[in-house]
Chains A and B, each alone.
Chain A
Amino acid sequence: MKGDGAMGPNRSKALLEREPRFDDMAVSLLAMPRLPKAMVKETKQAVELARRFNDTVVRPYALELDRKKHEDPDFLPWEFVEEANRWGLYTLCIPTLFGGQGVNFPALSYVLEELGSACTGMSNLVGVHYLGVATLCASWNMRLMNKVMRDTAEGEKTGEPCLISLAITEPGAGTDVEEVDLVSKAQVACQAKKVKGGYVVNGRKIFISNGHLSYWHMLVCYEDLKNPQDTVIMLAIHNGMKGFSFGRQERKMGQKGCPASELIFEDCFVPDDLVCINPAQGKKLKRSMKETHMQVIDYIVAASRAGVGAFGVGVARGAYEEALRFAGETEVDGKLLINHEWAQCMLAEMYKNVAVGRLTYEEANYANDLLGMFKVLEWKPIFYYLKYMPKPIMDKVIQPFLNLGAVTWLFRKIYFDWQKETDYQCSSGWGSLSKFTATDIGVKNGQLALEMMGRAGLRHDRGAEKHLRDSKLLQIYEGTNQLNRLNLFKCLIGRDVPGARVFEE
């Protein structure tokens, strides 16, 4: 390029590292050439599957389930979960290495958008399982990843769904557990005390999506409640363990189909072999436990917040589609609403919201492909190796290696020790950006749809009001949108501003 020589390589590098860093601005551009082409076909097939599932299962049942939960708040949608299990939705994006179908992770966002456009509650019933998967993966404990995810695969075969939930929120600590600088001051109360052969857990977790419907629960708690940032521990809990029980289901405004559960631990013994990661294991890593703790959170949320972004886009699309249908069939002031210019502009605004929201979750996923959780799986040699390796060989020859400590060691080297700070800043920053942008859009489109539809939109039987109720949750969970703005600031803005401090008012 002209002028290249004059600037010299160091000067060029410095220019590109100036904020906004080129690597943060052009994530998709950088990621695309590295990604396997087969992802496109896989994603198309996944979207097709989701649309078929919507037509067959979601749409015919969405309003009925919502109303049923209004009527009976303790109802659990087992039938739906069993159906989703039959359709393979719970193993869709589990890598073939762990017995799943191995569809690339970013494809999940498109699936969640599709399902969310018909019913965000049901989309959550599918999507939250992958929040559990992402949490498990963020420990890079290959033995447990293999064990737990193979249970899900087995559950698909037997027809007994085996979902995974994430349990981190406590009655006294919601925002605080999402951020190590806050957890150090938090009123956490769920404790794991080391005893011979394992841990004894006491405490409560609340608001756990899919709690009552899951078999495995990724429990995040602390060895020392006064020093939670350095003593975090992730345990794999399963139903039926002594001392573990379910409490109440919350009565939510929307997404009613998906339960938010209380998990209760009373002297619950968890053997050592169900420890995903603990401070003792953390000591073997390059960074301090506090830093590793944040790295684990960032791995999870960088992936899962893109998923919440997809829910936001889905619900925004659902609201838009209801409004469009209404405008095409309703006369106002003597002509079809769709032929009023203001209505056309409103619909265009809603369409734009959906499109912009989608771009954000796509970009966040590119960041995960390039720098975050998906980078090894989507590295071309590994991607094609896993895709085309015959299943019997995978299950019989390769799988046993996953139980070797050396494999976990290697993955932790790659994912913890070799990950650069700028890598997780970029993927976590984009995760947050997508999360709050797309979910604000979800609420906005819900509001616009009802404005356009007036009292017709208020009726439960038209479906539009449900989108608004469903959308509001998205601004709250996976960290409130305020916390996500602060995380964006921390990851992509504050890091380069001398004197900038986050969470220290």
Chain B
Amino acid sequence: MKIAQDAEMRMLDQMAADFAAKELVEAREDHDRYPFLPLFEDVLAKAHEVGFFTLLLPEAAGGGEQGISALSLILDDICRSDASLGGIIFTTALAHEMILKAKSEALLPPVASGDHSYREALIACPSFDNPGEAGNLLQAKGKGKKHMLSGSIEYVVLAGLCGRALLPAKVEGDESYSLFLVDLTSPGVEVSEPVFSLGLHACPACDLELKGVEATLVGRQGEGRAYFDAAVDKMFLAAAAMATGIMKGSFTEAFEYSLQRHQGGWEIINWSEVRMLLASLAIKCKVADMLLSEACRAAEADEAGWGLGARAAAIHVQELACDATTDGIQLLGGNGYMEDYGQEKRFRDAKQIQSLLGLTPMKRLDYIRRIREGEKPW
């Protein structure tokens, strides 16, 4: 990523790229066969050791106190090889970010790597939802910090992996929802088997059934939407970084294949139609990289309107990634469709992450809502 300019960022970049090369590439196919093969727990433990799950948290809370550029850089590197780990990092970062926006980091137990297992560092949350759009929310009853939650909620990412979840729920009479931390091992919590899905197989989600489960209010009651909205602009950048990484992985694989594979008496890269497809893929990668770098820079500098820029980048780059990874398969012909190569996984993962943070069309409508409400479009 273009953003990797200063020494610290370059180091992070190198570290993430090395990690991906060493831990994610070789066993990618097996990792992706979860839940039919075991989860890549050894990789998760190592990812925790290097601090991938606590990047955004302040040092005092055991985190790396990194900004969105660092998170994006790491997600870009990781997702080139296996976006499932990216999904785990993303989901936990989203939960952390919302907790930070609610100024509730005190609720987080210390999770410094080394002393604690990766499971303790992770926080489950419905990272594919914008809870404000959902029809049915969990119901919360109670007063003060402690509430009882009931109802069902679908697709809570990482719920099968870790002990805590950050969940949206509505207190009767409130206009909007609140956020709660729930101990998933509490009585009354029913966690489904992992929901088998299109992509990110090793970043599983589960459906939850809650019956009068004790939960801790995060921040103020009825302010969940505000925390989500405040956190989400940054997380749009992280989602765009995942898409960018997947695309780059797809291009690299296709480019290398086109130099090796012979058809019609020469390497297929010599066919100009193949080069056209490669060019289209490479251009999408470059555009995504530039867009993301600029959007990260604006976010770090807290420039006016950076939030809209982050959303525009995410919506656009995620769409690019879906098209690019389709061509990424195409360039490998039949082999591209097979699990032995990474391309089919990238195609699935790109489509999967397009739905992070809510329905894509609603994100577009929301974009215009914000402009209509007075945000400057550029």
- By a beta-carbon cutoff of 8 Å, the part of chain A in contact with chain B is 67, 70-71, 169, 172-176, 182, 185-187, 206-207, 250-254, 260, 330-333, 342-343, 346, 443, 447, 450-452, 454-461, 465, 468-469, 472-473, 475-477, 480-482, 485-486, 503, 505
Among B264, B347, B348, which residue has its beta carbon within 8 angstroms of that of A176? B264
Q: B199: which A residues are within 8 A, CB to CB?
A: 458
- What would 21 A/B residue contacts be, using CB atoms closer than 8 Å? A169-B334, A172-B262, A174-B333, A182-B263, A187-B262, A251-B339, A252-B337, A252-B339, A253-B337, A443-B326, A451-B359, A451-B360, A455-B128, A458-B197, A459-B197, A472-B326, A472-B329, A472-B344, A481-B330, A482-B274, A505-B271
Q: A451: which B residues are within 8 A, CB to CB?
A: 354-355, 359-361
Whether B339 pairs with A461 at a CB distance below 8 angstroms is: no
Whether B334 pairs with A185 at a CB distance below 8 angstroms is: no
Whether A346 pairs with B361 at a CB distance below 8 angstroms is: yes
Whether A457 pairs with B355 at a CB distance below 8 angstroms is: yes
In this complex, what residue of A is CB-closest to B343?
A: A253
Among A172, A252, A330, A458, which residue has its beta carbon within 8 angstroms of that of B198? A458
Q: Told that A67-B196, A253-B337 touch, could you supply 13 new A-B pairs with CB distance under 8 A?
A: A70-B36, A173-B263, A252-B337, A331-B135, A332-B135, A333-B133, A450-B354, A451-B360, A457-B355, A458-B155, A458-B352, A460-B195, A477-B334
Whether A476 pairs with B271 at a CB distance below 8 angstroms is: no
Whether B196 pairs with A460 at a CB distance below 8 angstroms is: yes
Shortest distance in angstroms between B159's beta carbon and chain A's nearest beta carbon? 14
- By a beta-carbon cutoff of 8 Å, the part of chain B in contact with chain A is 29, 33, 36, 128-129, 133, 135, 154-155, 195-199, 205, 262-266, 270-274, 277, 322, 326, 329-330, 333-334, 336-340, 344, 347-348, 351-352, 354-355, 358-362, 365
Among B36, B196, B264, which residue has its beta carbon within 8 angstroms of that of A186? B264
| A448, B21: Cα distance in complex, Å | 33
Shortest distance in angstroms between B312's beta carbon and chain A's nearest beta carbon? 17
In this complex, what residue of A is CB-closest to B364?
A: A342
Considering residues A71, A182, A454, A473, which has the most beta carbons from chain B within 10 angstroms of its beta carbon?
A454
| A469, B339: Cα distance in complex, Å | 12
Among B198, B262, B322, B362, which residue has its beta carbon within 8 angstroms of that of A332? B362
Whether B263 pairs with A174 at a CB distance below 8 angstroms is: yes
Whether A458 pairs with B128 at a CB distance below 8 angstroms is: yes
Whether A472 pairs with B197 at a CB distance below 8 angstroms is: no
| A140, B262: Cα distance in complex, Å | 33
Shortest distance in angstroms between B270's beta carbon and chain A's nearest beta carbon? 7
Whether A469 pairs with B265 at a CB distance below 8 angstroms is: no
Whether A461 pairs with B337 at a CB distance below 8 angstroms is: no
In this complex, what residue of A is CB-closest to B273?
A: A482
Whether A70 pairs with B196 at a CB distance below 8 angstroms is: yes
| A469, B325: Cα distance in complex, Å | 12
Q: A485: which B residues are within 8 A, CB to CB?
A: 273
Shortest distance in angstroms between B62's beta carbon and chain A's nearest beta carbon? 30
Shortest distance in angstroms between A319's beta carbon and chain B's nearest beta carbon? 12
Whether A472 pairs with B361 at a CB distance below 8 angstroms is: no
Among B33, B339, B361, which residue has its beta carbon within 8 angstroms of that of A342? B361
Whether B338 pairs with A250 at a CB distance below 8 angstroms is: yes
| A472, B352: Cα distance in complex, Å | 15
Q: A452: which B residues are within 8 A, CB to CB?
A: 359, 361
Q: A486: which B residues are within 8 A, CB to CB?
A: 273
Shortest distance in angstroms between A339's beta carbon and chain B's nearest beta carbon? 13
Whether A480 pairs with B333 at a CB distance below 8 angstroms is: yes
In this complex, what residue of A is CB-closest to B262?
A: A187
Whether A461 pairs with B264 at a CB distance below 8 angstroms is: no
Q: B265: which A residues are within 8 A, CB to CB?
A: 185-186
Whether B334 pairs with A253 at a CB distance below 8 angstroms is: no
Whether B347 pairs with A253 at a CB distance below 8 angstroms is: yes
Given contacts A330-B135, A443-B326, contact A174 B334 (CB under 8 A): yes
Shortest distance in angstroms between B181's beta carbon and chain A's nearest beta carbon? 22
Q: B262: which A residues are within 8 A, CB to CB?
A: 172, 187
| A361, B171: Cα distance in complex, Å | 55
In this complex, what residue of B is CB-closest to A187?
A: B262
In this complex, what residue of B is CB-closest to A251?
A: B339
Whether A476 pairs with B337 at a CB distance below 8 angstroms is: yes
Given contacts A182-B263, A331-B135, contact A461 B270 (CB under 8 A): no
Whether A253 pairs with B196 at a CB distance below 8 angstroms is: no
Q: A342: which B residues are within 8 A, CB to CB?
A: 361, 365
In this complex, what residue of A is CB-closest to B157?
A: A455
Q: A187: which B residues are within 8 A, CB to CB?
A: 262
Among A70, A176, A332, which residue has its beta carbon within 8 angstroms of that of B359? A332
Q: A182: which B residues are within 8 A, CB to CB?
A: 263-264
| A186, B271: Cα distance in complex, Å | 14
Whether A253 pairs with B333 at a CB distance below 8 angstroms is: no
| A456, B128: Cα distance in complex, Å | 9
In this complex, what residue of A is CB-closest to B336?
A: A476
Q: B133: which A residues are within 8 A, CB to CB?
A: 332-333
Q: B358: which A residues are within 8 A, CB to CB?
A: 454
| A29, B152: Cα distance in complex, Å | 57
Whether B348 pairs with A253 at a CB distance below 8 angstroms is: yes
In this complex, what residue of B is CB-closest to A464?
A: B198
Considering residues B33, B266, B337, B355, which has the most beta carbons from chain A within 10 angstroms of its beta carbon?
B337
| A187, B340: Cα distance in complex, Å | 22
Q: A476: which B residues are within 8 A, CB to CB?
A: 329-330, 333-334, 336-337
Shortest distance in angstroms between A279's beta carbon and chain B's nearest beta carbon? 22
Q: B361: which A residues are within 8 A, CB to CB?
A: 342-343, 346, 451-452
| A182, B270: Cα distance in complex, Å | 14
Q: A173: which B residues are within 8 A, CB to CB?
A: 263
| A482, B330: Cα distance in complex, Å | 9
Q: A333: which B residues are within 8 A, CB to CB?
A: 133, 362
Q: B272: which A residues are within 8 A, CB to CB?
A: 505
Given contacts A253-B344, A459-B197, A461-B196, contact A454 B330 (CB under 8 A): no
| A253, B330: Cα distance in complex, Å | 13
Q: A172: which B residues are within 8 A, CB to CB?
A: 262
Shortest distance in angstroms between A161's beta carbon and chain B's nearest beta carbon? 25
| A175, B195: Cα distance in complex, Å | 38
Q: A185: which B residues are within 8 A, CB to CB?
A: 264-266
In this complex, what residue of A is CB-closest to B360?
A: A451
Given contacts A454-B128, A455-B155, contact A465 B198 (CB under 8 A): yes
Whether A475 pairs with B330 at a CB distance below 8 angstroms is: yes
Shortest distance in angstroms between B206's beta carbon and chain A's nearest beta carbon? 11
In this complex, what residue of A is CB-closest to B274?
A: A482
| A452, B361: Cα distance in complex, Å | 7
Q: A447: which B residues are within 8 A, CB to CB?
A: 322, 351
Given contacts A186-B265, A505-B271, contact A450 B362 (CB under 8 A): no
Q: A482: which B residues are within 8 A, CB to CB?
A: 273-274, 277, 330
Given contacts A186-B265, A333-B362, A465-B197, contact A472 B355 (CB under 8 A): no
| A473, B266: Cα distance in complex, Å | 25
Whether B359 pairs with A454 at a CB distance below 8 angstroms is: yes
In this complex, what residue of A is CB-closest to B344?
A: A253
| A503, B322: Cα distance in complex, Å | 30
Q: B195: which A residues are within 8 A, CB to CB?
A: 459-461
Q: A443: which B residues are within 8 A, CB to CB?
A: 326
Among B135, B263, B339, B352, which residue has its beta carbon within 8 angstroms of that of A175? B263
Given contacts A169-B334, A253-B338, A472-B326, contact A175 B362 (CB under 8 A): no
